[in-house]
Each structure stands twice: as C-alpha cells, then as structure tokens.
Amino acid sequence: MREIGNEIVIATSNAGKVKEFAPLFQEKGIAVKSLRDFDDLPEIIEDGETFAANALIKARTIALHLRLPVIADDSGLTVDRLGGEPGVYSARYAGAHATDEQNNRKLLDRLKQLPAVGQSEAGGPEILSPARFVCAICLVNADGEPVAEVEDYCEGAILPQGRGEYGFGYDPLFYLPAYGKTMAELSIEQKNKVSHRGHAIRRLWEALQ
C-alpha cells in the first residue's frame, strides 16, 4: 500500500492494543512496530476534546519524530447513564496514572449510586447502563500529514462486576448481549470481528482502497 509502505508504527505501548492491531496489518504484509521499539520519544499531550483529535495528536507527534508512517487510535467508553463519561478521559478516569482496576472501580461506584435498569434480556445478567466503546483512528504519513481518519463504535452494556480474563481496560465490564459474553470473554479473533477497534480498522482499509 503506497501510503504506508511495508512498515508502520502503532503509536501505543499498550500490549493489548498491539495484539489487536498487529494481525490486521500483518495479513496485508505490513511489518508492525510499537512505541516499545523506540527510545527517547517525545511526550504526547492528549489535550483534544474528541477521540478523533487525540488520535491525530498522537499519530502526528510520533510520525514527525520518527519520520515513519504512524497509526494511532484514541478509544474509550461512553456510558449513557453517566452522560457519556468517561469519554476521552477513559484511560485516566480515576487519575493520571490510574490502573484498569482503579478505573473500573470508579465506574462501578458511580453507576451503583443510580437505580439499576434491570436485565439485558430475558434471563440475562443485571446491567447498570447501556454503553458503547468508541474508536477513532488516524493514519498519517512520514511527514505527519493525515492519510485517513475514521471512527466507529460497538454497542453494549455495563455489568455490576467483571467477567473474563482476556482484553484490557473496561473489557471485563462491557457486556455484548448478542454473544452473552463480556468483551473480556472473547478471543482476540472474536474481538477483532465485533469490537469498536476492529470495526474502525476495517473502515480504514475501505477508506484507503
């Protein structure tokens, strides 16, 4: 693919994200690197007000430093009964250096102060709120110029306690009624088919083609 060449940098140090992104590029014959493969990288200040703005900030910052094509995503959870929280603050909902466990605990504490909304379907688990995962992806060339920008989402609901051992972030709390499972109970292959990030990457390929 001319705009990318045969190597691309994923602007993340998150091993979970790399595992999700890498197969989708490798099957196109494109070698994947992450921020863990480089030293002395510039600080990325994610001060955008939208997922799309933050994705562009990340991609452009790294591309201009490495002079390589870079893809970056900004993903997060929006919860209906919390007015869209945590949104762009998903990774730092409980503080600047919060762990996944701390973010999940804060989310549940906030939701459990509200009346429950009932079961997701007949015989299904209790849910605390409808929610969706959102993913904005930006691909820039080695000069930091946008090649493609896309956004997509995955609808679901928040459970009162986590389930599953896969995934990361809010995955254990994010329930998919159509599967009867949380995102953390899906394999990487299943998750790539239904997740917000998987949807967004497929839209990216469509935009490039």
Contacts of 41 (CB under 8 A, 6+ apart): 35, 62, 65
13 annotated as ligand-binding: yes
Q: CA distances (Å), 24 to each of 18, 77, 78, 176, 181, in order?
A: 10, 22, 25, 22, 23
- Asked if omega into 86 is within 30° of 0 (cis), the reply is yes
CA atoms of 171 and 200, how far apart (whole Å): 17
50 annotated as ligand-binding: no
179 annotated as ligand-binding: no
197 annotated as ligand-binding: yes
**Which member of 40, 47, 74, 100 is catalytic?**
74
16 annotated as ligand-binding: yes
SS3 157: strand
Entry field: residues in the chain = 209
80 annotated as ligand-binding: no
93 annotated as ligand-binding: no
Residue 69 is given by DSSP the state -
33 annotated as ligand-binding: no
105 annotated as ligand-binding: no
191 annotated as ligand-binding: yes
Contacts of 40 (CB under 8 A, 6+ apart): none
74 catalytic? Reply is: yes
- Residue ranges for the known binding site for substrate are 12-17, 75, 168-171, 191, 196-197
Binding-site annotation, residues = 12-17, 74-75, 168-171, 191, 196-197
Catalytic residue IDs: 74
Binding-site residue positions for Mg(2+): 74
